Amino acid sequence: MDPNIDQENTVDPSYGDGSPVRVNQCRVAFDVGTVRVGVATCDFDAIMASPQNTIPGGAVSIEAALSVLAEYDPCEVLIGLPSNLKGRDTASTEYAREWARQLKESTRIPIILIDERLTTVQAAGALRASGHNSKQMRSKVDSAAAAIFLQAYLDGLATRKGANQ
C-alpha cells in the first residue's frame, strides 16, 4: 500500500470483476470565429478527432458551446489561438482569449488554449483535395481546422503516454 494515498477515499478502478473502468477521455475543440465557431470532438478513448457541425459565432456562441459541452461531457476543452506566423497575438487571438474567458466563467471543465497556426490552411487544402468547392468549404473549414489541432493534441498525449510506459 502506498502511504501517500488515502485508501479510505480511493475508489476501486474496476467493475468489481477485476476489469478496469474505462475513463471518458473525450475532448471538445473550438475554432473560434466571429461568424461561426468550428467544433471537433474525439472518441471516448481519445484516439481520433472528428469535425462536427459549426455553431454560430457572435453573442450566441457561448450558449451554443455550452450545449455542445453538455452533449459530449468532455474531460477537457481545447480552444485554438490563431496567432500570426511569428507567434504574435492578433485581433483574432485576443477574440479567442476573451471567448475562452467567457466560456470558463460558465463551466468547470478545464480549458486549454492551443496554437492553431495554419490549421485553417491545412483544412482548406484537405477539403479542396476531397472535391469541395469554395462555397461547400465555407461551412466545414472551421470544424475541420478544430479537428486538426485536436488530433495534434491527442497524438501528443499518446506519445507522452507511450514514453511513460
Q: What is the pLDDT of residues 16-30, one digit of tens each?
A: 555 555 567 899 999
Please give the helix or strand (H or E) that residue 134 lies within, else none: helix 134-138
Give me the CATH number covering residue 104: 3.30.420.140
Would 139 be classed as within a structural domain? Answer: yes
Query: Scanning the structure block, which residue is given the C-alpha cell 502506498?
Result: 2
DSSP 54: -
Would 70 be classed as within a structural domain? Answer: yes
- Of the pLDDT bands very low, low, confident and very high (cuts 50, 70, 90), residue 164 is low
Would 16 be classed as within a structural domain? Answer: no
Would 7 be classed as within a structural domain? Answer: no
Residue 79 domain boundaries = 22-163
How many angstroms separate the CA atoms of 149 and 114, rounded?
8
Closest listed residue to residue 153, CA positions, set 105, 124, 98, 110: 110
Convert the pLDDT of each residue in 76-102 to its tens digit: 999 999 888 888 888 999 999 999 999
Would 33 be classed as within a structural domain? Answer: yes
- Would you call 71 exposed, middle or buried from its count of C-beta atoms within 10 A (0-12, 13-18, 19+)? exposed
The model's pTM:
0.81
pLDDT at 159: 76
pLDDT at 136: 73
pLDDT at 129: 85
Please give the helix or strand (H or E) that residue 97 lies within, else none: helix 91-104
Q: Give the chain's domain count.
A: 1
Would 6 be classed as within a structural domain? Answer: no
Would 11 be classed as within a structural domain? Answer: no
Could you count the other beta carbons within 10 Å of the beta carbon of residue 37? 27
Would 147 be classed as within a structural domain? Answer: yes
Q: What's the 3-state SS for 139-161?
A: CCHHHHHHHHHHHHHHHHHHHHH
Convert the pLDDT of each residue in 96-148 to its tens digit: 999 999 999 999 999 999 988 777 778 877 888 888 887 777 778 889 899 99
